[in-house]
Structure 1
Amino acid sequence: MAENSILFCFPSCYFTILSRLFVFFSLLFCCSHSANQLGPYNTFTVSSFSYPTTNVRPFDLRYIRVDLPAWFSSVSITVQSDVDLDAKSISKVPKSTLPLICIRDGSPPLPDVLNSSLIELVSLFESNEGKTEVAVTVLVSGSFSNGSFQRIQGPQNVQCYPMQRNITATLTNEQISPGVWYLGLFNGIGPTRTQSKMIIRSPSYSFSANISVEGCATSTMWGQYCNQTIDPFSCSQAYSYNPTEIFSGANLQTIQNVVSCKTFESYCHGEGEPKVYALEVLGIAEQLKIVAANVSFTAAPTNSTGNASVANLLYFARHGAMPSMALYDYSGDMSKAPLIIRKPKVGRWFVTILPTNLSKEVGGIQNTNMQVCYSITWQLLNCPVGKAGLNCSSEKYMLQTVLRRDSTPFESYYLPLSGKVSPDSADFPLEPLSSNSSYSNETDTSWTYFLLNIPRGAAGGNIHIRMTSDVKINYEIYARYGGLPSLDSWDYYYANRTRSSDGSMFFTSYNSTEEKIDFYILYVKEGTWTFGLRSLNTTIIPSNDQTVMSVSVERCPKRCSSHGACKVALDASGLASYSFCSCDRTHGGFDCSIEIVSHQGHIWQSIALIGSNAAAILPAYWALRHKAFAEWVIFTSSGISSGLYHACDVGTWCALSFGVLQFMDFWLSFMAVVSTFIYLTTIDEVSKRAIHTVVAILTALMAITKATRYVSSLSDAFSRVLWEFKHVRLIKLCRSSNIILVMAIGALGLLIGWLVEFSTNLSSLSFSRGFCLNVPTRWETIGAQLSNLVKTLLRRFRWGFVLAGFSALAMAAISWKLESSESYWIWHSLWHVTIYTSSFLFLCSKVDKIINSENETTPDGNYGLTRQDSFSRAEP
């Protein structure tokens, strides 16, 4: 009966059951879809970029900009390349061809100015080889320790590591701060990277990248998985205070803006339980002070109170990222002294408080569940508009951006927003703007501050500071990003010629003297920069002396020192620009100020490269003497065009545009090689003209369209494969493939000429029917013909000249093989001499006329018989 009831109910409930299953799976799908969108631990994907395969040519670079918002949790970076290096091979690769990957906070890295040597890179690589952690802190295959990443933050810090085949890194908000980060991929570093080169024979490499940024859904959560709670410092307005208690020694007449807040709620946590707090500093401030007040102790869970025998409230403060016991900016014991941060940076500050040595006896029994409770009081000093310093007695000026006309992207100079200077000039005097030191405790010094903003996307520029005076300059300049500089906290500074940031990799000074200060901050970080001018001995400076200052942003330092051109490019995303110098043949470095080739050396190089083309006189003279006028024109034109091309290439003189001269040099060189082979044939002039026409068209197309780049691509792949096995620097076969292909075309022309001649001789033979049926006679005749062909070939050339020609050609090949960017002028000059000499020797090896006595009758006998018969018939 029950079975019948079930069977009876099934048809009627079928639709209801399916409907409920549909609703259940729909809810399940929606929940899972939302979870996938949000991610584990309340995280979600902020952005994700995939960069396609990109080729990095020798001495080239690529930048990738990564934007991390304030609520980011982690960034995952994956880079794949065809570079395969290990610790042993790095020492064998020259610095100028070493593939590197660099990372920098706020602006593009520039490894050309690094102080670290190749040996340091090898030691870093060796010390971390073999690790397999997933969350790493630097971009190297495997991983590095967290401590190695500690030095990366800051505008003057950068870390570079050898490029690897597979790179995977996950950087969290506990390791790096939000903002802009740059990845740089380089194919060789050093002064010669920016030098203009006549030839490049180094291997290229390619890479692809994927960068994904995860964020926290809640602003009060932090950590890689957003599972750590952050308590923001609250502010209660109903709190009275005495400014003299907060900032002792400050002049109350100058203090107007003081934010002082207190939390009425108590925070409680036990031994070794850290608690993290966050505070936003929105503008330029003078001092931040944090005090732990109303400290008490509670024994959980009985809530009994009493006096603790020992209690310490250790604090660790850090700007932009969560601090730890190993990674912090400030540390101390808040139970003994408050946390005081002078001139704090703008942005979010994190403070971790950790109770230690906490114990108590309750009822004579040791209680290990003791907790400490406290409230937080914090004060932030802000000076009035136009004032700065601890007592707000220093002058502070905001600099206005004035864009330059008809310049490269974002070049500008800055002027103070005040009526004390003229807006018509990029220079402004300092005396009307200097601070009065009457309020200062140090009567011989005073500070004047200038604030400027570097806009988004202009991180590839350089700040240029100049200061001139008729007498000795009595100012020291201190620069800091995101806060006011001081004698204790600065990013860059210049005091005099012996005390400055010249040791920093992104600071460079040019010919500074006692009367002139001139320096650049390279690839400056976008955001707010503050320059503090510390005036020394203000009371003894004559009033009639004037110090003039200029502040500007330039794309290239010192305009590339007048030895190069300033170029602007975009990063891989196309959203940010950067500038770089492309130097001439004799200079290098990031600003083209390093002389790589001396003036005398440049003269010798020019003479060698240009004068070596005089070797073209040898084949040209031979062709003219033997009335081979077509070959004479080609050899003469080839030598002249090569000389003009190299004269323009070395920067001596350009008769035509560089592209035209390069085309003429390549094309006529190709024609000279092929013409030499064709001349060695003995075909008639009609066939030679046809072959010359075809070859001229093919070589012209090769020279103008660079068709051999497909061959060079295969050569690149072959070079990379060999690199993986030998781990040594290989010579790129790009231009070698041109010569090989042209010689192959010439050899093909020679072979075609011989085939035409052989087919002509073969068709002249008459074969009778009896000859075809007589097999022994047929083979004897064929053998005789082949023997005659070999003898003709041996008599056609002077084989001593042939061997000498091949020897010269081998020397030319060796010279071509040994060419490099440094020794190009030596070996290429030898190449000119040997290749023209080989053509001359091959031309001399040809015998003009060959008489085959076996196949040809002697005309003299017939001629004598004819004369004898005629005489006999003429007798009466």
Structure 2
Amino acid sequence: MAENSILFCFSSCYYTILSRLFVFFSLLVCCSHSANQLGPYNTFAVSSFSYPTTNVRPFDLRYIRVDLPAWFSSVSITVQSDVDLDSKSISKVPKSTLPLICIRDGSPPLPDVLNSSLIELGSFSNGSFQKIQNPQDVRCYPLERNITVTLTNEQISPGVWYLGLFNGIGPTRSQSKMIIRNPSYSFSANISVEGCATSTMWGQYCNQTIDTFSCFQAYPTEIVSGANLQTIQNVLSCKIFGSYCHGEGEPKVYALEVLGIAEQLKIVATNVSFTASPATNSTGNASIANLFYFARHGAMPSMTLYDYSGDISRAPLIIRTPKVGRWFVTILPTNISKEVGGIQNTNMQVCYSITWQVLNCPVGKAGLNCSSEKYMLQVNCSRNIFLDLFILVTLIVGFLSGHFLFSFTSQDSFLQTVIRRDSTPFESYYMPLSGKVSPDSANFPLEPLSSNSSYSNETDNSWTYFLLNIPRGAAGGNIHIRMTSDTKINYEIYARYGGLPSVDSWDYYYANRTRSSDGSMFFMSYNSTEEKIDFYILYVKEGTWTFGLRSSNTTINPSNDQTVMSVSVERCPKKCSSHGSCKVALDASGLVSYSFCSCDRTHGGFDCSIEIVSHQGTHFYFGHIWQSIALIGSNAAAILPAYWALRQKAFAEWVIFTCSGISSGLYHACDVGTWCALSFGVLQFMDFWLSFMAVVSTFVYLTTVDEVSKRVIHTVVAILTALMAITKATRSSNIILVMAIGGLGLLIGWLVEFSTSLRSLSFSRGFCFNVPTRWENIGVQLSNLVKTLLRRFRWGFVLAGFSALAMAAISWKLESSESYWIWHSLWHVTIYTSSFLFLCSKEDIINNENQTTPDGNYGLTRQDSFSRAEP
């Protein structure tokens, strides 16, 4: 068994190595090809994507993934749409129908959780773009006809960015609807990425020099804690040999890569001295200068945009638990002056040396004194075959299509959990592999894993860390954390992306029911109590997440109470609250999957937890009872055409109108959440199909063709309308198609009747040669046909029918999500009333004089057939 495990692990690692080699050589090919196309500012085109014109229906969305490599200089985004909104009309459009474009770092923006205050009513432009760095940050702007934005590496950091285009947001976006009347829009996009030819150049045009450091692994240092426990720390030291000198207001930029989870980053300025510029060539005592620093993670800092700032000549810059990635530090000397011979000299320069130190703990340890336990949430050998295939296909397809910007991922990203929840990609439970807990269950106890607080002699500040890697392409998933205990839980949970969390540095946290990140858009807590913690982090960012468990009242002799924890990644939070189904879709490039809930008729929200149609409350302006009465009771208008058809012994039409009214009532009863006799799909099909049949049957009834011809027409119409009802039944164009089919049926009926009338003409040889007589007979027949048509209808009912039909069309046009139940109820009444009026418009022609000829011909035909049947 052990040998099999070893072989399996070896094959997994071998596959991972092959995948990375594939990425590496593809990256070399990409870079060597692009390097020959350098621009005028030492830049080259990394990639250029063109997304074709795409239609976004009401309450629909589209995601576009943009990969920015570490050496990128700028990204240009051009979006063209047919949205016709100006600054005046935008403020009048409700958020539920407003077209939006949103941008988020690392994962897709989630429209249903967006706060209205985050929607900027101004234009999406270079100047309006704000700093987006935290995982919960997102910015949204109204979509315009033409948007062109160029973002530089001084504004945003490398990595993965997502653009989201939404056609309305809010809880009703995910609610299933019968018919949507909101407008659609189309868009096309072009995204191009420029990169710097060398890693030591930065800025939009790659014309700013960045100084790099020579790093070396320092010898391990022993730190003695308060409990006399010796722990060993590894120190990575980086420095620039020699000194740098620059004058007043001359910035100098430095960069350093933090490659893994670290405990501390320390930057020290040493050997600070002053000298005059070569022009003056003088020395002397200078006044105390200020060496201001501005530090920023992932992008160039400025005096207005930075993460840390201070005077490095007075105190070193210490960043506890720094984030993984590239850090930039700008040094700016100020207040430099010197007097030479009593004359103020403004050409003085300050010289100094810079040293970086990155402090790391040994494997399995974390914290400033390396006394806390740290675990990787993974399974070392149990791999997910579906995930392997997905990664391999992503690499191959991305390489062939050019949509994939290659970037290296830590090996932990490829060796993820694999207690599988189901066949959905990237949905799994995660376990710590420490040998202290059993790997057979999705839940694991915390007590055997918790750090011993006696090491640090701080009984109220014991930390235990768990690291979790979200693989590439899984940014549309949700991290689910559950913790249960028989007694009050004595843990606080802090989550942070790319670094160790602390009480002062976190992205999300849960301490108790009153202290948590519930105000954050992408943090959702469900029914948490003192004995249970249950929350989701929505649409998590790809990469390493660290969860820090802080014990609030740890004692040296803990009680026998056990706290159980589970960590999982789920595609849809809370399984859509049992009020919908989880759907998986791909972004515009087809390389990244994301999930969303498709809710039922009465619920909405990103997790289907919001009750849109309440049996006790109100929905929009009126309650559920009024909606049910209007939408269901208005189908009683079907009694009018059904009664008239039954009176005229038109049994086929009677069955169609009766069944249409009943199926429409049952469908709307299910639609408003009152009662579902059958499944919603079956009821929807029956309602639309019989409604289409009722419209066409009204036209066919107005003809006087025989029953054989009517059966043929009804059969053809039944097939066509069934196809329309089963494929996109709710589209508005179906109304035009049904009216066209009905009009065609009426025309065919009249043509059949006209051809029958022409049979009464004599087609003898003499008639054929007598052309004037033939045309005279045809003219008489046509005149008689027109007179017959005029006498066949009661034109007052025809005009009234068209008036009712016009009212039905107006009701259909005015339908919206808010007023749907009002106008659709009027649609029921007016459309059935128009059918009743059209049925009443047909005259009774049984005693008509023209009708005797066909009967006589029919009798003669029978006699002739009988006579020919005799021997």
SS at match of 2:140: strand
Say which SS state the counterpart of residue 165 (structure 2) adopts.
Answer: strand
Does 2:48 match 1:31? no
CA distance in 2, matches of 1:856, 1:313: 109
- C-alpha displacement of 1:429: 1.6
Query: Matched residue of 1:772: which SS?
Result: helix
Q: Against the structure 1 CA distance between its residues 303 and 9, is the aligned structure 2 distance closer, same or farther, given a 3 Å change threshold?
A: farther
Cα deviation, residue 810, structure 1: 3.9
TM superposition shift of 1:781: 14
Please say if residues 251 and 391 of structure 1, whose CA atoms lie closer than 8 Å, have aligned partners that are also in contact. no
Q: CA deviation at 1:308?
A: 0.7
Q: What is the number of equivalent residue pairs in this alignment?
A: 825
Query: C-alpha distance in 1, partners of 2:445/2:6?
Result: 100
Is residue 176–residue 598 contact of structure 2 (8 Å, CA) maintained in 1? yes
For residues 99-144 of structure 1, what are the alpha-carbon distances to aligned partners after superposition, in whole Å with 9 as ceiling and x for unaligned? 1111111111112211134875359xxxxxxxxxxxxxxxxxxxx6
CA distance in 2, matches of 1:389, 1:9: 31
* Cα shift readout 1:456-509 (whole Å, capped 9, x = no counterpart): 111111111111122222221111111111111111111111111111111111
Alpha-carbon distance, 1:194 to partner: 0.6
Measured after TM superposition, the shift of residue 246 of structure 1 is 11
Which sections of structure 1, spanning at least 5 residues, go unmatched?
124-143, 709-734
Instruction: Return closer, same or farther for 1:868/1:546 CA change in 2, 3 Å cut-off.
Output: closer
SS at match of 1:9: helix
Decide whether aligned partners of structure 1 residues 868 and 35 sit closer, same or farther in structure 2, where only a CA change above 3 A counts.
closer
Quote the offset at 1:874 in angstroms: 41
Measured in 2, the distance between the counterparts of 1:21 and 1:440 equals 44
Relative to structure 1, is the Cα distance of residues 182 and 541 closer, same or farther in structure 2, using a 3 angstrom cutoff? farther
If you compute each CA radius of gyration, which structure gives the higher value, 1 or 2?
Answer: 1
Q: 1:767 to 1:385 in 2, by over 3 A?
A: closer
Q: 2 CA distance for matches of 1:675 and 1:425?
A: 63
Counterpart contact for 1:391–1:439, Cα < 8 Å: no
SS in 1 for 2:128: helix
C-alpha change, 1:441 and 1:272, in structure 2 (3 Å) is: farther
Please give the alpha-carbon distance, in whole angstroms, between the structure 1 residues aligned to 2:554 and 2:195: 52
In the aligned structure 2, how far is the partner of 1:254 from the partner of 1:23?
A: 38
Which stretch shows the higher mean deviation, 791-800 or 575-584?
Answer: 791-800
Instruction: Say whether the 8 Å CA contact 1:59–1:189 is kept in structure 2.
Output: yes
| CA displacement at 1:546 relative to structure 2 | 1.6
Decide whether the 8 Å contact of 1:453 with 1:528 is kept in 2: yes
Residue by residue, what CA displacement relative to the aligned partner does 1:263-297 show, whole Å, maximum 9, x if unpaired?
A: 44111111111111111222222222111111111
Give the secondary structure class of the aligned counterpart of 1:842.
helix
Give the SS at the match of 1:396: strand
Larger mean CA deviation between 817-826 and 861-870 belongs to: 861-870
Alpha-carbon shift at residue 183 of structure 1 (Å): 0.9
Q: Does the aligned pair in 1 maintain the 2:258–2:324 contact within 8 Å?
A: yes
Q: What TM-score do you get using the length of structure 1 for normalisation?
A: 0.80
Residues 752, 27 of structure 1: CA spacing in aligned structure 2 closer, same or farther, 3 A cutoff?
closer
8 A contact 1:586–1:602 mirrored in 2:
no
Q: CA deviation at 1:772?
A: 19
How far off its partner does 1:369 sit? Answer: 2.0
Further displaced range: 497-506 or 300-309: 300-309
Bigger Cα displacement from structure 2, 35-44 vs 197-206: 35-44
Per-residue CA deviations over 1:618-648 (Å, capped at 9, x if unaligned) read 3223222322223223323433444455456
CA contact (8 A) 1:317 1:350 kept: yes
Q: Percent identity?
A: 93
Change over 3 Å in CA distance of 1:666–1:76 after alignment to 2: same
Q: Deviations over 1:706-765 (max 9, x none)?
A: 699xxxxxxxxxxxxxxxxxxxxxxxxxx4433334334434554665677689889989
CA contact 1:111–1:160 (8 Å) conserved in 2: no
Answer whether contact 2:253 2:331 (CA < 8 A) is retained: yes
Distance 1:306 1:481 in 2: 49
Structure 2 Cα separation of the partners of residues 147 and 12 of structure 1: 48
Secondary structure of the structure 2 residue equivalent to 1:529 = strand
1:22-80 CA deviation, whole Å, 9 max, x = no partner? 99999999999998612223222222222222221211111111111112122222222
Q: How does 1:746-825 map to 2 (within 5 A)?
A: 746-747=742-743, 749-750=745-746, 796-798=792-794, 801-802=797-798, 804-825=800-821
Q: Distance in 1 between matches of 2:443 and 2:869?
A: 117
**Stretch deviating more after TM superposition (476-485 or 366-375):** 366-375
Give SS of 1:420's match: coil
Counterpart contact for 2:234–2:359, Cα < 8 Å: yes
Deviations 1:794-835 (A, max 9, x none): 765556655554454344333323322343344333323332
Q: Report the CA distance between 1:232 and its aligned residue.
A: 1.5
Does 368-377 or 24-33 show the bigger shift? 24-33
Comparing 40-49 with 530-539, greater Cα deviation is found at 40-49
Q: The residue matched to 1:376 in structure 2 has which SS?
A: strand
- Structure 1 distance, partners of 2:20, 2:431, is 73
Distance 1:422 1:39 in 2: 58
Which residue among 228, 231, 253 is the counterpart of 1:251? 228
* Cα 1:677–1:363 shift into 2, 3 Å: same
Change (3 A) 1:871 1:43: closer
**Aligned equivalents of 1:495 and 1:62: distance in 2?**
36
2:55·2:185 contact (CA, 8 Å) conserved in 1?
yes
Contact map agreement 1:678 1:746 (CA 8 A) in 2: yes
| 2:345 paired with 1:350 | no
Cα distance change, pair 434–667 in 1 and its aligned pair in 2 (3 A):
closer
* Range 830-839 or range 639-648, more displaced: 639-648
5+ residue gaps in structure 2? 377-414, 617-622
Instruction: Identify the range of structure 1 (480-489 vs 163-172) with the bigger mean alpha-carbon deviation.
Output: 163-172
Cα distance in structure 2, aligned partners of 1:484 and 1:872: 104
* Alpha-carbon distance between aligned partners in 2 of 1:290 and 1:54, rounded to the nearest angstrom: 50
Equivalent runs, 1:444-843 vs 2, <5 Å = 444-539=460-555, 543-599=559-615, 605=627, 608-643=630-665, 645-646=667-668, 662-682=684-704, 688=710, 692=714, 695-696=717-718, 698-700=720-722, 702-703=724-725, 735-747=731-743, 749-750=745-746, 796-798=792-794, 801-802=797-798, 804-843=800-839
105-114 vs 802-811, greater mean Cα deviation: 802-811
Report SS of the residue matched to 1:148: coil
Q: Deviations over 1:237-278 (max 9, x none)?
A: 79xxxx999999997822432334554411111111111111
Give the direction of change, closer, same or farther, for the CA distance of 1:371–1:832 in structure 2 (3 Å limit).
same
User: Closer, same or farther in 2 for the Cα pair 1:286/1:3, shift >3 Å?
Assistant: closer
CA contact (8 A) 2:478 2:573 kept: yes
Distance 1:262 1:818 in 2: 70
Structure 1 residue 658, shift from structure 2 partner: 5.8
Deviates more, 1:612-621 or 1:188-197: 612-621
- Cα distance 1:325–1:853, how it changes in 2: closer, same or farther (>3 A)? closer
Relative to 1, partners in 2 of residues 1:40 and 1:441: Cα closer, same or farther, differing over 3 Å?
farther
Q: Is the 8 A contact 1:250 1:390 kept in 2?
A: no
Q: Deviations over 1:388-436 (max 9, x none)?
A: 2222222222297234153311111222221221212111222222222
Q: Does 1:214 align with 2:194?
A: yes
8 A Cα contact 2:501 2:546, kept in partner: yes
Change (3 A) 1:609 1:309: same
Structure 1 754/856 Cα, relative in aligned 2: closer, same or farther at 3 Å? closer
The answer to whether the Cα contact below 8 Å between 1:476 and 1:535 also exists between their aligned partners in 2 is yes
In structure 2, distance between residues paired with 1:17 and 1:687: 72
Whether the 8 Å CA contact 2:58–2:168 is kept in 1: the answer is yes
What secondary structure is seen at the aligned counterpart in 2 of 1:493? strand
Question: What does the per-residue CA deviation read over 1:143-194, in whole Å, with 9 as the maximum and x for residues that have no partner?
Answer: x676753431221101111112222122111111111111111111111111
Corresponding residue SS for 2:41: helix
Q: Distance in 2 between matches of 1:835 and 1:206?
A: 32
Change (3 A) 1:251 1:56: farther
Q: Report the CA distance between 1:843 and its aligned residue.
A: 2.3
Cα distance between partner residues in 2 of 1:705 and 1:786:
42
Report if aligned partners of 1:91, 1:122 keep a CA contact under 8 Å in 2: no
Aligned twin of 2:284 = 306
Moved more, 74-83 or 618-627: 618-627
Structure 1 vs Structure 2 CA RMSD: 12.8
When residues 828 and 540 of structure 1 are mapped into structure 2, their CA distance, relative to the original with a 3 A threshold, is: farther
Distance 1:370 1:561, change over 3 A: same
> For structure 1, which segment, 746-755 or 93-102, has the greater mean C-alpha deviation from structure 2 after superposition?
746-755
